[in-house]
Structure 1
């Protein structure tokens, strides 16, 4: 048996330390597999440079490569990498917006996006708040107060959430494949600084919302577009507030007037 020391954080940190490589990783945090040519465009680099970047990310265990016919596609190595990216996003400064196109894209990502296999952004937080307000989800108020709980910092597992019996009935009635496991995993949304549902239930919710046409993935980003049908269904079936308020505007436990505007 080969003895090993502490985790070498420098390997992953160095792999993510280049802005082009970081942009490649962000492009696939919705769980998609993208070809090298698309990722080169995301990073704004040549094909040769993209190839070197991707090799570095694969070697560091951040991405994995898949062969589809003559082409290689790249996706996140696993959900733990998505968790890492979300955690880094919480402490990283925002990228400057230099054009209307970049501003539109940034707004779309903050409104609704796929975080590996679940809904994030204002939509993900609003969905979690609606489940909490209705008593379908219990165990917390969705907030990440930033305060210590003993020796633990608020994060992925500090608050224990669970699905109530009524919540299970309501979601099953919407064809959500509710997992058998009692605990519901939530993680802190990097743009809203509040919890959104993740884990198996988060994956099941996104699957249903996509299958029913309530949300539609963007072609060239991880943003999600909420359709008119989806907006109506989420408001009527789950009491979702629309438009979803920003994190600082949300008072836990206080309902906001519904709007179809």
Structure 2
């Protein structure tokens, strides 16, 4: 038996279609009940509970009890990054679901990727920041430049608070629909929260879609021009 990380075990946990659908639903960043996840996966609640137990044992989800209900969420940012990268590989290699529609188009335009903005608007924000030298790479690490620090501070981001967190401030995340990078890390999370706080955008219930208002789209384009 080979020594080292057992990637086959993790792959098997994710590879089951029902579990894959449940994990994808948790990419909304919300904690969901077994009943809600059963609906997403098209299975019974009892079967969903069995799957959740396996995912929790494998370290992919965590479950907490509140009142009479148990809520499950992705264990950490690393799991969300892994899932988004797998979506990118699936899209790049042509393994796509055949059913498309308005919801699919909305997901491609703007959606939440666990806790940050993804889709066309997510990559636009990333590309705009890079083009104006507000984000730059040092080796494989993504940094915010002094100009970028001033820009996000003017947007109302509490940068010193973010810089003292354990999570990385800036991180690349491969976008499955655009097949380009968008901004993750604590700054990516803070920017999406700020857009919602300003009233530019709001999450769509029971979906990963982020919908920008007319004013929000105008302000977004003004702050993140291509």
TM range (shorter): 0.7 to 0.9
Which position in structure 2 is the counterpart of 1:127?
125
Q: Secondary structure at the match of 2:173?
A: strand
* Residue correspondence of structure 1 range 128-207 to structure 2 within 5 A: 128-139=126-137, 159-178=140-159, 179-180=162-163, 184-207=170-193
When residues 180 and 77 of structure 1 are mapped into structure 2, their CA distance, relative to the original with a 3 A threshold, is closer
Does structure 2 retain, via aligned residues, the 8 Å contact 1:36–1:51?
yes
Report the Cα distance in structure 1 between the residues aligned to 2:65 and 2:124, rounded to whole angstroms: 38
Does structure 1 retain, via aligned residues, the 8 Å contact 2:169–2:185?
no
Residues 128-176 of structure 1, C-alpha deviations (whole Å, 9 max, x = no match):
111122332234xxxxxxxxxxxxxxxxx96443222222112111102
Residues 78-107 of structure 1, C-alpha deviations (whole Å, 9 max, x = no match):
11100110111122211120xxxx522221
- The structure 2 residue matched to 1:74, chosen from 72, 75, 82, is 72
Mapped pair 1:216 → 2:185: no
Residues 18-58 of structure 1, C-alpha deviations (whole Å, 9 max, x = no match):
21111110001132101111111100111122111211211
| CA-CA distance at 1:195 after TM superposition | 1.2
Structure with max Cα Rg: 1
Unaligned segments of structure 1, at least 5 residues: 140-156, 240-254, 256-261
Which position in structure 2 is the counterpart of 1:83?
81
Residues 196-232 of structure 1, C-alpha deviations (whole Å, 9 max, x = no match):
1111211111111121122211111112111222112
- The structure 2 residue matched to 1:94, chosen from 87, 93, 96, is 96
Which position in structure 1 is the counterpart of 2:218?
232
Which position in structure 2 is the counterpart of 1:112?
110
Task: Report the RMSD for the aligned CA atoms in angstroms.
Answer: 2.1
Mapped pair 1:23 → 2:16: no
Report the Cα distance in structure 1 between the residues aligned to 2:50 and 2:170, rounded to whole angstroms: 39
In the comparison of the two structures, how many residue pairs are matched?
Answer: 216
Unaligned segments of structure 2, at least 5 residues: none
